[in-house]
A and B are shown apart, each in its own frame.
Chain A
Amino acid sequence: MKSITRQKSLEQIERGLSDWARVFIVGCGTCTTATMTGGLEQVLEMKEQLEKMDKWVSGWTVIPVACDEMTAVSIEEHGRAIADAGCVLAMTCALGVHRLNQYLERPVVPALDTLFIGVEETPGCFREVCGQCGECVLGETAGICPVVTCHKGLVNGPCGGTNRGKCEVDKERDCAWSLIYARLKAQGRLQAMRNYQPPRNHHRMPRPRVTRLV
């Protein structure tokens, strides 16, 4: 499981940094390293890009897991260089941005857009298989989530836009309901597709979502 990110355009990044001349860059050794959006190599490339924008890079680091509490320690180690910078450019996912904001007084500017939580299906190919909606229907859909796999998130079967097993939005993309149908049929459980699914409760756990173990 990885937090999947994509780098913002350099124009967007430059706009985000427009208030500051000096920048400290933070990458992450976990997800953004795996997706090659915030690993060591990308952090060094970003340093070069920022210098082309006439920014002064006071320092950089790749935190092992930017979203966990050890980030506080990494920040402390680089306290001096961070203090020399006007802001921190985060090449982490949004969870890392959140964590950095907890420990830093300096503004944190994201260099990446966080897209989804995905699993690596084949090397380098990440897929969203769960949208963490709080109302799991996987038991009736042969383990394929229609909420995130169907473009429209339909829970009662395919729309009329499905064509030869593909989605109307993109001929290369599989229609979720064709996949669900094929697998249910193979399992001899087509009956599950006939079950009426009521409108989803979008507030099973209202936002902001928090759970406490004790």
Chain B
Amino acid sequence: MASRFRQALNSSEFVVTSEIAPPKGINLETMTHHVDLLKDRVHGLNVTDHQSSVMRYPSLGGCLLIKERGGEPILQMTCRDRNRLALEADLLFAASRGIQNVLCLTGDAVPVGDHKEAAGVFDLDSVQLLKAIRELEAGRDLGGNTLDGDVEFCAGAIVTPEADPLEPQLIKFEKKVEAGAEFFQTQAIYDLDNFASFMEFARQYPVKILAGIVLLSSAKMAQYMNNNVPGIFVPQALIDELAAAVAAPDAPKGAGLAKGIEIAGRMIREIRENRLCDGVHIMAIGREEVVPDILAAAGMADWQPTGRIV
């Protein structure tokens, strides 16, 4: 049966997803709190897979927790840490526990993380992982052997609409579509005109696009991302807006974050009202508790994800 998330993607509804990051260790209190706070506010919750190559509680564990709490998990799966046997086995495990949504990622490089001497595996890449998922669905593993029991996945991938140069990323996007990706989450976007021209390209393909919304909390953070995070471009006007919010003499504590929430909400509202794409993926990076505030700022305070099939 199609997952709830896939049903939402295929409905007429504007799709909203968010993500949570597992803890370093087994204290799951904060993660559980975030899951409970968000599970009924979005169509699906991503769980990151050792994000930035920092070892954490596993993505699969986080997805099981979401499942137990009645939410809809989206399993992030990178190719950095497992060879094809381990990836396939984890996919079987996920399927057996009702985790059917998978986001296929290459994975950050090992040296950017906290286990700098570890082997980077990359036995498969994101395109090959998508193909592997479709192979498993066809009843075969990558060794060509028959599987006992059917599996079904809603498989997606990522794309970077602000990459420079862009064309290599678009070629890879096409390869991911051909390999079986049915939805895409984008890297953070801030320039909606640029995003609209990306969407003109993406609309040619039978896939759903969720625009990546990364919460900005200060002008400094925006500058940092511009200088250090590949494929992210925050326009100067937004940086100025964030700076002005805290520069006012009567600016309250947390004015930067409040402005960031407002900006994120404003973008979501514009994307939704103009139907620029099929939905948004909200990344609040360490501030998951403000996701409801972002939705409220987008005029979606009373909005409920349902996912009715058209």
Q: Is the CB of B168 within 8 A of A196?
A: no
Least distance between A183 CB and chain B CB atoms (Å): 12
Q: Is the CB of B168 within 8 A of A202?
A: no
- List chain B positions with a Cβ less than 8 A from chain A: 80, 84, 106-109, 111-112, 120, 122-128, 131, 142, 158, 160, 163-165, 167-169, 171-172, 174-175, 178-179, 187, 230-231
A163 contacts B by Cβ under 8 Å: yes
Q: Is the CB of A163 within 8 A of B122?
A: no
Cβ-defined partner of B120 (8 Å) among A152, A163, A194, A199: A152
CB contacts under 8 Å to B, within A54-103, are none
Residue of A nearest to B108 (CB): A161
Query: Could you say which residues of chain A place their CB within 8 Å of the CB of B164?
Result: 163-165
Question: What's the A-B contact tally at a CB cutoff of 8 Å?
Answer: 90
Tell me the dominant secondary structure on chain A's binding face: loop
Range class of the A interface residue count: 20 to 34
Cβ-defined partner of B106 (8 Å) among A159, A190, A193, A196: A159
- Which has the most chain A C-beta neighbours within 10 Å: B125, B167, B175, B178? B125
Residue of A nearest to B122 (CB): A152
List 5 extra interface pairs beyond A152-B120, A156-B175, A190-B171, CB under 8 A. A162-B230, A169-B111, A181-B168, A185-B167, A194-B174
- List chain A positions with a Cβ less than 8 A from chain B: 151-165, 168-169, 177-178, 181, 185, 190, 193-194, 196-200, 202
Query: Could you say which residues of chain B place their CB within 8 Å of the CB of A181?
Result: 165, 167-168, 171
Residue of A nearest to B160 (CB): A160
Residue of B nearest to A154 (CB): B125
Q: Is the CB of B111 within 8 A of A163?
A: no
Least distance between B85 CB and chain A CB atoms (Å): 11
Residue of B nearest to A155 (CB): B125
Q: With the chains together, A22 CA to B140 CA distance in Å?
A: 61
Q: Is the CB of B127 within 8 A of A178?
A: no
